[in-house]
Structure formats: structure tokens, C-alpha cells
């Protein structure tokens, strides 16, 4: 299936129905997950109502990482086999992943204020997410700074793959540092095991984020392919004239 979709024409034919389908799925899942998490799921014993931000925060964190892995995979395919669609996919995924990471940081900051009365804490996961966010910004800035489209995709792809090695190392470093110097008092490595009444809405929200990513990714890719076609047509007309 992946190789079949490597053809832009076939990809567009696939996305013509898959993009609206993913959009509908995302809207439905958010319509179920958001009210479930924000109103019907139980409040937590220690943190009260503020724990509800978990339904926005945690899926954003999962998919910020997931999108990055997807992006690095696309960069790898684009780098090794020179599939144009893989480059398009990586470029289209980057802003979505950056927004997910930014959403995770913003909600994490709000949550920290509600729980610890501080607008930012340097706990391991929040710090790794900040570094991941910076890596997304670096990828976007690098891609934008190089004019030649194909060269930009490949050079930014090298950076993206190097970042994939870096992110777990950063996570390990910060983990080591918090356990060394702050003690595992406030920032436990694992939260208390989660109750099914909270787990289900969380999983629905995770699916909603995934569907939203799929829909936005395909929309971005469609726009990018059409943009390239328009530019190619304009260049042809210029040559003919």
C-alpha cells in the first residue's frame, strides 16, 4: 500500500475520500471524548477538577512524539529511496507535530500552576517535550531557509533523523538529573495506576488526536502537491513564452 501511494496521482485519488473520512472520524471522536473527559469522567481525589486537563495534555504529548517518529520515518524513506511523497509527508507533518507539542507545553504549564502553583516545572517529561518542540521549530526553520525544494527536504531530513536519536537521550539525561537532584517526591516517574473510568475517555481522545493528525496531514499534503503542480505549470508557461 505504501509503495502504491508513492505515486502522487494515486495518493490524491486515495486522499480524495480518505481525508473527509478522517475529518468526520476526528469530529465524532472529539465530540465524544471532550465532553466525556471534561464533564462526565470523575474528578481525581487529590487534584480535583484540574485533573481533567489530562484529556487534552496527555494525548497531545503522545502524538507530538508519535508524529515525530512518523516524520523521521518519512524522512528516512525520502532520503534512501528518494520518494517525493515521503518528503511531502514529512514537511506536511512538521507543523502539526509542532502544534501538538506546543499544546502539550501550554496545558502542562497550566496544569503545573493548578497543582504546584508554579507556571513551569523542570520535570523530565516537560523538559523533553520542550526540546522536542525546539527540534520541530528547527526543522521548520531549516526547511524554510533552503530555497531548492528537494535539497531542503533532504538536508532537513538529515536533521530530523539526528533529532530522533537526540530526543531519547535528552529524556534520559533529564530523568537522571531530576532523580539525582530533586528526589522523586513531587515528580514521580509513574503516576498512580489509572482507573478505567479515566482510561477510556483518555483513549478516545488519543484516537481523536490521531484522526485529526491523519486528516490535517492529508490536507497539507494535497495542498503541497497542488502547489508544486501549479508552480511547475507556471514554469512551463514561462519557458514557452
Partner 1 sequence: MSLLGIMGAQFRRDLALVWKSGAAAPLGFFLGAAALTPLAVRPTTFDELDQLAQIGPQLLWIAAALAALLVLERLFQADLEDGSLDQMTLSAAPLEALVAAKAAALWVGVGLPIALAGAPAALALQAPPAAIPAIATGLAVGMAAFIGAGLVGAAAAASVKRGGVLIALLALPFFAPPFIFGAAAARAAVLGDPFGEAFALLCGIALAAAAIGPVAAAAALRLQAE
**Site for partner 1, rule CB under 8 A:** 131-132, 134-135, 137-138, 141-142, 145-146, 151, 154-156, 158-159, 161-163, 165-167, 169-170, 172-174, 176-177, 180-181
36 vs 76, which CB is nearer to partner 1?
76
DSSP 128-182: HHHHHHHHHHHHHHHHHH--SHHHHHHHHHHHHHHHHHHHHHHHHHHHHHHHHHT
101 vs 202, which CB is nearer to partner 1?
101
Closest approach, Cβ 151 to partner 1, in A, equals 6
C-alpha cell at 161: 533523523
156 vs 225, which CB is nearer to partner 1?
156
Inter-residue contact 92 to 224 (CB < 8 Å): yes
42 vs 168, which CB is nearer to partner 1?
168
Closest approach, Cβ 188 to partner 1, in A, equals 20
* Integer Cα distance of 97 and 227 in angstroms: 21
Question: What number of residues does the chain have?
Answer: 241
Torsion sign, CA atoms 75, 77, 81, 84: negative
Closest approach, Cβ 113 to partner 1, in A, equals 24
37 vs 97, which CB is nearer to partner 1?
97
Closest approach, Cβ 172 to partner 1, in A, equals 8
Closest approach, Cβ 133 to partner 1, in A, equals 9
Torsion sign, CA atoms 35, 37, 40, 44: negative
Amino acid at each position: 500500500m505504501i509503495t502504491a501511494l508513492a505515486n502522487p496521482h494515486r495518493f490524491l485519488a486515495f486522499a480524495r475520500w480518505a481525508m473527509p473520512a478522517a475529518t468526520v472520524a476526528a469530529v465524532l471522536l472529539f465530540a465524544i471524548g471532550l465532553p466525556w473527559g471534561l464533564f462526565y469522567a470523575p474528578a481525581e481525589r487529590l487534584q480535583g477538577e484540574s485533573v481533567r486537563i489530562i484529556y487534552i495534555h496527555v494525548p497531545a504529548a503522545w502524538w507530538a512524539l508519535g508524529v515525530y517518529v512518523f516524520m523521521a520515518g518519512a524522512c528516512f524513506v525520502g532520503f534512501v529511496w528518494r520518494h517525493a511523497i515521503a518528503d511531502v509527508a514529512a514537511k506536511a507533518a512538521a507543523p502539526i507535530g509542532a502544534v501538538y507539542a506546543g499544546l502539550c507545553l501550554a496545558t502542562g504549564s497550566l496544569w503545573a500552576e493548578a497543582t504546584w502553583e508554579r507556571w513551569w516545572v523542570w520535570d523530565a517529561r516537560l523538559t523533553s517535550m520542550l526540546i522536542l518542540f525546539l527540534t520541530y521549530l528547527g526543522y521548520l526553520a531549516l526547511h524554510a531557509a533552503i530555497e531548492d525544494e528537494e535539497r531542503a527536504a533532504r538536508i532537513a531530513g538529515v536533521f530530523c533523523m539526528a533529532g530522533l536519536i537526540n530526543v531519547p537521550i535528552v529524556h534520559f539525561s533529564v530523568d537522571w538529573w531530576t532523580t539525582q537532584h530533586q528526589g522523586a517526591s513531587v515528580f514521580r516517574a509513574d503516576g498512580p495506576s489509572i482507573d478505567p473510568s479515566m482510561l477510556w475517555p483518555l483513549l478516545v481522545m488519543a484516537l481523536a488526536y490521531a484522526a485529526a493528525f491523519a486528516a490535517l496531514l492529508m490536507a497539507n499534503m494535497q495542498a503541497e502537491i497542488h502547489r508544486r503542480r501549479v508552480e511547475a505549470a507556471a514554469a512551463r508557461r514561462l519557458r514557452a513564452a
